């Protein structure tokens, strides 16, 4: 895919996320890894609702900006995702409502932040790594990700969600599934939910 087409896709995805209320203000960021070893990312301080193709940052691993605006300040953890996940070509980071609410709960541990009760969560998200709270933009977030390469989805405590994917759409769909599953978890907390059995979980993985 040409760079311009990839920029257009980033703009389209960003607008869709904004229009559906999965991002607000200038929160959240996305990036993609290109075939030539460079990267595209949403700009720092930008709104997904007004992102333009010319705003998208094109930069090298070393941080040289090739065109567009300066990339998100969270670039270090995006690069850590690519380094620790060789097949990853896109990273989506959201502060979506229910995922962030779940990330702010006590006693979260690596694996499953709640007992799965839909097959789609297991198929699209699977295991989740829990990252400790860090100030947004902290380089320590990258260190935390590098320490947990076995996960491709992360909950950042009191912050939000990170999803790695082989394509931008794959990362997007996984992030959307996580948000919907977290919403179902919240709405169903007091209901007699039928959770998936271990046998059913094994069948899905």
Which residues participate in catalysis according to the annotation?
74, 120
Mapping DSSP onto H, E and C, the string for the chain reads CCHHHHHHHHHHHHHHHHHCCCCCCCCCEEEEECCCCCEEECECCCCCCCCCHHHCEEECCCCCEEECCCECCCHHHHHHHHHHCCCCCEEEEECCHHHHHHHCCCCCCCECCCCCCCHHHHHHCCCEEEECCCCCCCCHHHHHHHCCCCCCEEEECCCEEEEEECCHHHHHHHHHHHHHHHHHHHHCCCCCCCCCCHHHHHHHC
């Amino acid at each position: 895919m040409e760079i311009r087409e990839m920029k257009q896709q980033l703009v389209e995805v960003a607008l869709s996320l904004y229009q559906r209320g999965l991002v607000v203000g200038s929160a959240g960021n996305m990036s993609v890894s290109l075939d030539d070893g460079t990267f595209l990312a949403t700009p720092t301080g930008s709104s997904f609702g007004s992102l333009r193709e010319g705003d998208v940052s094109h930069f090298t691993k070393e941080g040289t900006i090739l065109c567009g605006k300066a990339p998100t300040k969270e670039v270090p953890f995006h690069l850590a995702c690519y380094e620790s996940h060789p097949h990853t070509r896109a990273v989506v980071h959201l502060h979506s409502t229910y995922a962030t609410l779940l990330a702010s709960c006590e006693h979260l541990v690596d694996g499953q932040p709640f007992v799965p009760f839909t097959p789609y969560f297991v198929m699209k998200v699977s295991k989740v790594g829990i990252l400790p709270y860090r100030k947004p933009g902290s380089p320590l977030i990258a260190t935390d990700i590098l320490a947990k390469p076995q996960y491709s989805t992360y909950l950042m405590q009191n912050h939000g969600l990170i999803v790695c994917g082989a394509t931008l759409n794959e990362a997007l769909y996984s992030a959307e599934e996580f948000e919907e599953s977290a919403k179902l978890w919240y709405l169903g907390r007091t209901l007699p939910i039928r959770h998936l059995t271990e046998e059913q979980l094994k069948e899905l993985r």
